[in-house]
Structure 1
Amino acid sequence: MARYKEYNYDQMKMIPVAFDRQILPGSFEYSLSYLIDHELDLTSFDRHYRNDDNGRPAYDPRLLLKIIILAYSKGITSSRQIERLCRENITFMALSADTQPHFSTLADFISRAPEAITDLFSQIVLMCDQLGLIGKEMFAIDGCKLPSNASKEWSGTHAELKKKRQKIDRAVRRMLQRHQEQDNAELAPDIQAREKEQIKKLRAVSRKIKHFLDTETERKGISGKTVKSNITDNESAKMKTSHGVIQGYTGVAAVDSQCQVVVHAEAFGQGQEHGLLKPVLEGIRETFVDTASEKQLKKTQITADSGYHNRGMLEYLEAEGIDAYLADTGFRSRDPRFKDHKSAKERNKRQDKERFSQSEFAIDRKSETCRCPAGKIMWLKARRARIGHHLFMQFQGYEHDCNDCGLRKRCLRNPNQPTPRQINVALDITQEQKAGIIERMKRKIDSPKGRHIYSQRLGTVEPVFGHITDAIGIKRFSLRGKRKVDGQWKLMMLLHNILKIHRYGWEWA
């Protein structure tokens, strides 16, 4: 018969714990504690306190900052979970000196001081520069879309939200009418109570939507068009990601190519990245102003993907004399390394499902002839027709051939259209377009030097986002409002840079 060791819960074991010996040299918490206590200026946090003469003494910002950054390094952003760690985890107990701050204190400290966090982030960047962790040869700029503390179900234009409110009001009226009709009927008390509670909730939702429509104006995008607002957080945006549609913010980061140190970070409440490059570049310049590195930045190369490519941005970069490499939407198709790459399938499969594509027409540019899939000759409508800044060779079918053709349904978008099928063969672009700023950027990035520089972008900036979201595990913002979310995004990038200092900057780490 099996035998087991005896155990007894009716006993006690006293374990002495020296908090100063729990923070061991070489550990991240040791680097964090030393950095905050001896290297950083935290006086920017002092203006949030007004208890010089009266009031209860506050927790030291250094203490709270150590706890929060250590919790963020473990993927924990919930203030309640951080409070529990300070009660149960020996490392957090040691770092907090067993003070056990309340979760509301931690939450308030993060949300009310985004400007102080911005100042702290700049200090860390300059420290990385002093330690030689920033090479200033190339800055890669990109954005990471993360959901915020707002539901996309509360998004919509003012017209859509008004329609939603009317639908809720109709539902409430129907429920009240049904109650009046069934006053004499015997209904179970639990059913009546549940329906009354539902009516109360729907009315509250209706009042919330009405208050938002009365107090908030229609939100406009960069192009001036109306975009969806959000009742919970109107500064956030509804945006598409690889994981579906989210309600959140785009966290943009500029990353140095040497050690992947983030030199600037900012959160924006928009999914489109057009127009976001300029504030990032101005933020980098502001960080290094009045330093010896400011002149070196003029030689730094800037790389960004096609999301930041537009005429206005290229004109700004050229006027400022910035050596930038911005890919356009056709960059990969011009790359000879991707000549065998299959193009993406049409997203709208219903449209043009069986329609003949241009590749199915036999086109000979030299002899200037074209034959349709039915074997009929098409006549040359124009040798060099200009459409916008592009030049085309145009062919069109004969009416008597198209009218009686059995493949008419597969050739024309609308079988009832009176005009025959026309084919536009791209030849070239106009001279003024060749001399334009967009073509100059294309020639620059298509050169061997340009492709070599741009190829470093992906391996520079994307690992930073992977480090925060996958390795550490922070996958969303927990605050609302651009100001607070921007502070939290800078706090995440601040953590990333402190980890760089811990790994490569300190000799004793």
Structure 2
Amino acid sequence: MARYKPYSYAQGKFIPVHFAKQILPGTFEYSLDHLINHELDLSLFDARFGNDQTGATAYDPRILLKIVLYAYSRGIVSSRKIEQACRENVIFMALSADTRPHFTTIADFISSMDKEIIHLFRDVLLVCDDLGLIGKEMFAIDGCKMPSNASKEWSGTRADFEKKAAKLEKAIAHIITTHREHDRKQTDKDIVAREEQYVETLRKRASKIREWLKDNDDKPGKTGKPKKSNITDNESAKMKTSHGVIQGYDGVTTVDGKHQIIVHAEAFGEAQEHDLLKPMVDGARENFQAIGKDEDVFTKTKLSADSGFHTEENMKMLSDEEVDAYVADNLFRKRDPCFAGADRYRERHRKERTKLAGRSSGLFSTADFVFPEDLSYCLCPAGKRLYRSGNNVAVRNFLATKFKGPESACVPCKLRTQCLRHPERTKIRQVAYFHGRSAKGKETFTEKMKRKIDSTAGRALYSMRVAIAEPPFANICHIMGLDRFTLRGKRKVNIQWNLFCIVHNLKKVARYGPLFT
């Protein structure tokens, strides 16, 4: 039988370590160390300190920045774990020169660099541009919604919080009443102790809500209705994603097509992306102006974005600013011949679900409703009256009169399964009576964009969007492991998002930059 030299991994060894020799050329840490030492201007951090004559010495921001960016590149986000790595990992020791900063120092450095982060991002962008990594032919804008350090259970309007506080106070009163009865009956002390602890927990929750209600008002929405606030982080938003509903932020990026360099990044506490297109366009333009490269980068650069950014107002803004943009609308794929048969299985499954639910596949159409000459109301197949809810309404270039059924008539109706596609969640039936095509007005900016993006060239250019916008999210969220924002407040979350985007760009420099490959 073959014999091998004995060995064991469960052992340690004291060895001399020369920190400079641990940072090997060709690695990411080498690029990071070189850029921070020689390329980036970190003098703006000096204004933080007033210890020129007196006071304790501070940690060099270069040291802190190196270990934070390197930690993020390795998927380490916790400041405690970064501190631990600086004590135990040789690369972290080399980057930090074995200074071993405390985790509170690291956490404070990250969360307080809101004024410096944009300058740092632009310095890295300048390096990328000088190395020829930015093509400026096509930019793509997209967002990645992630949960933050906030609970969606503490989300709602003031009215919701009032109800929740009242419910908690009612529960407290009930438990106290029960507790008094237990005192009279001499109930087991363990049960009484658990009830007292539960009452204290409920009191803290109710007090937390009442304190928030004293200092905060509802966030106004566009339609006049209040938007949902959040007690733990009122700048975050409740968002619907493919993984369910989350409480968090939308990390939005503008990405260049050549090497997927992020040219602008910002985190928003907005559930919808309709209002985010202009700040992203302005941000990218300002970044290139700040580094002295282009007065207006969009004079020669095309822009693409998905349907989440498509509104008439946004299309007008792009037209006014003469941006050569390709922004899809919600029906873009339905007009695409390549997706002509995409719904064939959906329709078949819909019919199967309808059959299993015991509903008729042929729902009542507009022809089954009776309309009087004055169109003041209409009668449904069940003989119930629907009231008029809109007159001369423009629906896709057609004029129509809209009718809506009252809940008192629709909810108890026996013909709901024949009238509503989803009777289990839709309360009332709505009907539109079309008068004919409306007068042809001036072509809207949305129609212009549809015509532009439906062209052969438009579809070819828009098809590039996914390959440009998505790789940075894959790198940041899956390779570097950012699956949630760990900070609270838009200011701090924006810092964290920009730091990860800086790491993404620095990795591109290390991979493609001629000085480091």
Q: TM-score, normalised by structure 1?
A: 0.84
The 1:11–1:81 alpha-carbon spacing in structure 2 relative to 1, beyond 3 Å, is closer
Given that residues 253 and 262 in structure 2 are in contact (C-alpha distance below 8 angstroms), is that contact kept between their aligned partners in structure 1? yes
Could you tell me which residue of structure 2 aligns to residue 499 of structure 1?
A: 507
Give 1:29 shift: 0.4
Do the aligned residues in 1 keep the contact of 2:366 with 2:432 (CA within 8 Å)? Answer: no
1:362-415 Cα distance to aligned partner (Å, 9 max, x none): xxxxxxxxxxxxxxxxxxxxxxx9844433899xxxxxxxxxxxx987754599
Trace 1:422-433 onto structure 2 (pairs within 5 A): 431-432=440-441
Which secondary structure does the structure 1 equivalent of 2:254 belong to?
Answer: strand
- Does residue 455 (structure 1) correspond to residue 463 (structure 2)? The answer is yes
Matched, 1:490 2:498: yes
Inter-partner Cα distance in structure 2 for 1:199 and 1:409: 46
Does 1:322 find its partner at 2:323?
Answer: yes
How far did 1:185 drift? 2.8
> CA separation of 1:212/1:505 partners in 2, compared to 1, >3 Å: closer, same or farther?
same
1:295 is displaced (CA, Å) by: 4.4
Partner of 1:332: 333
Match status 1:354 vs 2:355:
no
1:352–1:413 Cα contact (<8 Å) kept: no
Structure-1 separation of matches of 2:340 and 2:366: 19
What amino acid does structure 2 have at the position aligned with 1:431? K
Secondary structure, aligned partner of 2:144? strand
Question: Aligned-pair distance for 1:430?
Answer: 5.1
Alpha-carbon offset, residue 128 of structure 1? 0.9
1:62 and 1:352 map into 2 onto residues whose CA distance is: 68
Instruction: Give how far 1:12 is off.
Output: 7.4
Q: Determine the structure 2 residue equivalent to 1:292.
A: 293
Identical-residue share of aligned pairs (%): 49
Q: 1:61 to 1:204 in 2, by over 3 A?
A: same
SS of the aligned residue for 1:206 comes to helix
Aligned-CA RMSD value: 3.3
- 8 Å CA contact retained: 2:124, 2:505: yes
- Whole-Å Cα distance in 2 between the matches of residues 129 and 44 of structure 1? 22
Distance 1:426 1:90 in 2: 77
Between the aligned partners of 1:331 and 1:115, the Cα distance in structure 2 is 40
Q: What is the deviation of 1:353?
A: 4.9
Distance (Å, rounded) in 1 between the aligned partners of 2:513 and 2:8: 50
Q: Residue 65 of structure 2 aligns with which residue?
A: 65
3-state DSSP class of the match of 1:431? Answer: coil
Whole-angstrom distance in 2 between the partners of 1:23 and 1:190: 60
* SS of 1:354 mapped into structure 2: coil
Provide the secondary structure at the position in 2 that maps to 1:167.
helix
For residues 142 and 24 of structure 2, the distance between their equivalents in structure 1, rounded to whole angstroms, comes to 36
On the 8 A contact 2:305/2:326 being kept in 1, the answer is yes
Cα offset for 1:358? Answer: 8.8
Change in 2 beyond 3 A, CA 1:470/1:430 = farther
Distance in 1 separating the partners of 2:498 and 2:51: 28
User: Which stretch of structure 1 is more off in the superposition, 290-299 or 55-64?
Assistant: 290-299
Distance 2:364 2:6 in 1: 83
Deviation of 1:292 after TM superposition, in Å, equals 3.3
Partners of 2:119 and 2:24 in 1: CA distance: 28
Moved over 6 A (4+): 3-12, 349-352, 358-361, 407-410, 421-429
Q: Distance in 1 between the 2:10 and 2:129 partners? A: 58
Deviations 1:454-504 (A, max 9, x none): 000011001111111112211111110001111111111111000111111
The range that moved more, 115-124 or 51-60, is: 51-60
- Please give the TM-score of this superposition, normalised by the length of structure 2: 0.83
Once residues 213 and 452 of structure 2 are traced to their aligned partners in structure 1, the CA distance between those partners, rounded to angstroms, is: 48
Gaps of 5+ in 1: 362-384, 395-406, 416-420
Aligned twin of 1:168? 168
Judge conservation of contact 2:182–2:192 (CA < 8 Å) in 1.
no
Cα shift at 1:157: 1.1
- How far did residue 296 of structure 1 move? 4.5
CA distance, structure 2, for counterparts of residue 474 and residue 408 of structure 1: 50
Matched, 1:391 2:398: yes
**Structure 2 CA distance for aligned equivalents of residues 10 and 233 of structure 1:** 46
| Conservation of the 8 A alpha-carbon contact between 1:389 and 1:430 | no
1:19 touches 1:93 (CA, 8 Å); kept in 2?
yes
Could you tell me which residue of structure 2 aligns to residue 235 of structure 1?
235
One-letter amino acid of the structure 2 residue matched with residue 262 of structure 1: I
Q: Residue 226 of structure 2 aligns to a residue in which SS? A: coil
Matched with 2:383 is: none
